[in-house]
Amino acid sequence: MTKVGESITFSVTMEDYTIYAVVERQSQDLLIQLIGGDVWHYGVVTAVSKDTEPQDINMPSRPGHVHQERVLTHALASVIRPVLQSNAFIVSGMHVNSITTAQMRVATKMARTLGEEIRDWVVAHPAAKLVETFAPSHHRNVGE
């Protein structure tokens, strides 16, 4: 087995459910899984960098509907964006069966709390910038 990148998991529990942020880092890029509740899944992808606004892909959830975790990914993204070294992809899916108003009300706060933990980790553990080299411009891409 080969070690690839690094990984750390954060969690927050409020109102009888837990949301997890599983953070994987490759070089200076982050892949964050924002998952939890009763049914973990992947329904929304949000891409963000320090210099770009969040961009989303919302997958279908049931006929006529798309996943709504964008609210959570954007809450998390707004906290980590100022300290990002490069790109971040937040993949999210969480479902709380028979969710209550109180549970719904704390979801964004939970995402922000996880964002604060990720932000603090990134600041305390910056990744070194690796040197990239490219082929000379006179080389053509395969297929051209």
Domain count, the chain: 1
pLDDT, residue 5, reads 76
- What is the structure's pLDDT at 140? 62
Say what the pLDDT of residue 138 is. 65
Structural domain that includes position 45: 6-124
Position 85 in a domain: yes
Inter-residue contact 33 to 22 (CB < 8 Å): yes
- Asked whether residue 139 is assigned to any structural domain, the reply reads no
Task: Establish if 84 belongs to a structural domain.
Answer: yes
In a domain, 142, yes or no: no
CATH of the domain at 67: 3.30.230
Q: Could you state, in chain order, the average pLDDT of each consecutive group of 10 residues for the chain (144 residues)?
A: 80 98 96 97 97 96 94 98 98 97 98 98 94 79 60
Chain centre distance of CA 133: 28
What confidence score (pLDDT) does residue 137 get? 76
Instruction: Report pTM.
Output: 0.89
CA–CA dist 75, 98 (Å, integer): 23
Domain assignment of residue 43, yes or no:
yes
Whether 138 maps to a domain, the answer reads: no
The interaxial angle of helices 70-80 and 101-124, nearest 10 deg, is 30
Contact indicator for 88, 29 with CB cutoff of 8 Å? yes
Question: How many CB atoms are closer than 10 A to CB 113?
Answer: 20
**What pLDDT score does 70 carry?**
97
pLDDT at position 3 is 61
The answer to whether residue 54 is domain-embedded is yes
Quote the pLDDT of residue 46. Answer: 98
